Chain A
Amino acid sequence: MEIFYSLQEFMTYSKGITYLIMGAILILMPLYWLFLTDRDEKKETY
């Protein structure tokens, strides 16, 4: 693990990763929703 000497460094690093995770969440959530509702009777998306 990296050694952080300041909160600023620590946050740059941790927020950087968090932003990547946020991107992943925004992509995965809709896919998961589709998976979840896949077998429902045809729902109309409009």
Chain B
Amino acid sequence: MMERPSRISIKPMITPINVVLGIILAIGCVLTVLRFTGGLSVVTNLDDNNPWGIWIGFDLLCGVALAAGGYTTSSACYIFGLKRYHSAVRPAILTAFLGYALVVLALHYDVGRPWRLPFPIFWQQGTTSLLFEVGLCVFLYLTVLFVEFTPAAFEWLGFPKLREKIVKLTILLTILGVVLSTLHQSSLGALYTIVPSKLHPLWYSGYLPVYFFISSMFAGLSMVLFEGSLAHKYMHDKMDETHLRESEGIVLGFGKAASFIMAGYVAIKVIGLSVDNNWHYLFTGYGAWFLLELIGFVALPAFVYAIGVREKNIRLIQRTAVWTVLGIILNRFNISLIAFNWHLPSAERYFPGWMEIAVSLFIVAIGIVIYRFVTTHMPILYEHPDYRSDH
């Protein structure tokens, strides 16, 4: 094995980021104990009218949408044959795997009896439930992502034979991944098709599953761009030349893809307005909020992406990625929290407590720590010298 002295970084342990992460992790541990000994009421503001809070709205809905980079990138590379995105696949698979693992972890906090989470899959299947569909797909997809991720681990641990076997399955796993992603990304939206009486008409639509699926595509692409820019900033020394050389092309290509998909998304949102004849709601307070989401956080970033692509402005594209990600979070929050139960008087509405927010941050922090560990130890941002060019 070749020596890579340049990639072994000696970073000071006490940096501001590490201190903040440490504090969040410490608080999170305390809250974990509280949650599992005192019940949900100790740490959350949930009540009988508002059974789902930010642990569903952020951790589940946003988590899954933002982890969509895994299937978008791997399908671009392996199915659509855009080989020049190859160096983006591994980091995307890693973040997707981490993302989904964290979503499942977060669900353990949210559901009343987490030890029963396997029940719907192995014990008694509620086949009419879209949540069953989501659960089944997330379970299967987590497995697929895990298998897709193992080659990196095998390279790190030095099991070339096993790695070889998995690599042979790449295309099968990719297709399965896209099927499962299509299903659960859209089913997350379809969860809300059962509540036309609770979700504001501007957000309720028979197309909800399609909206969720399409928005997951540009969410995933934008997230890959965002992570890429972060990784370049903090993990530059871990990247090899292929990664650095290809990254500019990736940024332009993904920016272009995201921009056009977003345009399509705006189009189908408008179609949704028209099909349900919801125009008159646009002139209410919720309408303004809806337009802010659709124009301010989808149409505009799509346009700015386009400018970035035309002018080959990498920084602009990366900033727009953050903007788009915020837009996705806004959309999921609108559907799960803000436009949900809109008919209830404000006193009966939900607002997250600081402990709920802290637990969500705790879970994100765990993700960052694991990401850093994996990218410093496994061949994610660079190709392993023993396996160069053949994966």
Chain A contact residues, CB within 8 Å of chain B: 8, 11-12, 15-16, 18-19, 26, 30, 45-46
Docked CA distance A46–B127 (Å): 36
Q: Is B179 part of the binding interface, using a Cβ–Cβ cutoff of 8 Å? A: yes
Q: Is B372 part of the binding interface, using a Cβ–Cβ cutoff of 8 Å? A: no
- Indicate if the CB atoms of B171 and A8 lie closer than 8 Å: no
- Indicate if the CB atoms of B391 and A19 lie closer than 8 Å: no
- Indicate if the CB atoms of B170 and A46 lie closer than 8 Å: yes
- What 1/0 mask marks residues of chain B from 102 to 143 whose CB sits below 8 Å from any chain A CB? 000000000000000000000001111000000010000000
If A26-B176, A26-B179, A46-B391 touch, whether A12 touches B127 (CB-CB below 8 Å) is yes
Chain B contact residues, CB within 8 Å of chain A: 125-128, 136, 167-168, 170-172, 176, 179, 390-391
Residues of B within 8 A of A11 (CB): 127-128
Docked CA distance A12–B124 (Å): 11
Residues of B within 8 A of A15 (CB): 127-128
Residues of A within 8 A of B176 (CB): 26
Taking a contact as CB atoms closer than 8 A, the residue among B171, B179, B390 that contacts A45 in the complex is B171
Residues of B within 8 A of A46 (CB): 167-168, 170-171, 390-391
Docked CA distance A4–B167 (Å): 48
Residues of B within 8 A of A26 (CB): 176, 179
Docked CA distance A46–B126 (Å): 38
- Indicate if the CB atoms of B179 and A19 lie closer than 8 Å: no
Residues of B within 8 A of A18 (CB): 127
**Shortest CB distance A6–B (Å):** 11
**Shortest CB distance A31–B (Å):** 11
**Shortest CB distance A24–B (Å):** 14
Write 20 A-B pairs (CB below 8 A) sorted by A numbering: A8-B128, A11-B127, A11-B128, A12-B126, A12-B127, A12-B128, A15-B127, A15-B128, A16-B125, A16-B127, A18-B127, A19-B125, A19-B136, A26-B176, A30-B172, A45-B170, A45-B171, A46-B167, A46-B171, A46-B391
- Indicate if the CB atoms of A19 and B127 lie closer than 8 Å: yes
